[in-house]
Amino acid sequence: MMTSKKVIELFYDVVSPYSWLGFEVMCRYRNVWNIELKLRPAFLGGIMQGSGNKPPGLVPNKFLYMTQDLARLAKYFNVPLQSPSDPAEVMFKKGSLSAMRFVAAVQERQKGGDEQVERVSRELWRRIWSEDKDITEPASLSEAALKAGLSDSEIKEVLNIYTSQEIKDKLKSSSEDALDYGAFGFPMIVCHVNGKPEMFFGSDRFELMANCIGEKWLGPQPDKSAAKL
């Protein structure tokens, strides 16, 4: 008998490379584990401010470590991640507020499932963390959405609402939910186990998370692991 699916919420922001890793792993496992994955686009800048945390990029040694760490992780997770030419400008000057409002708008207008949210988020990560392209201008957001398979009319609809108060409030509400769970950075994954939320920060807690929800961790590429068995 199948037990009911455990709800897992994934809070993320496309400005965060570690969120991309966490996102891809959770998307790979959504059909492997008995889970219902809920994508929760939110704003990392609001989380940092609300929790009083400081980005690792502002500590020189951490920044150096992060650059090496991401290169190793990209290979391990099989995600085409490479640092942009000026990470500080991308992360701190340009930021991701408009991009995350755009993702929130895609989520708002999509009915039945979150396929478009998944694909648009992935294309935005690809632009910023693989191709060193802009994610702040409407034309950049449209290009990402087009690559993600949205039609011209769908993109127009999203562009019409992503700067509205309703969408601003939706993104703010998601970020506040994350803070209420105790977030101080992304990715943040909340597993609902026996009526209690279990919060995991980062993209290196999957083994522990699997244990917590009664599932098996098969590595970052479960399809490959399953093929070996």
Active site residues: 16
Query: Which SS3 state, helix, strand or coil, does residue 47 take?
Result: helix
Q: Which residue has the tokens 């993109």?
A: 155
DSSP 115-155: HHHHHHHHHHHHHHHTS----SSHHHHHHHHHHTT--HHHH
- Strand runs labelled E in the chain: 6-12, 35-41, 188-193, 196-201
Give which of 172, 186, 179 is closest to 10, Cα–Cα. Answer: 186
Q: Under 8 Å CB-to-CB from 130, ≥6 apart: which residues?
A: 80, 81, 82
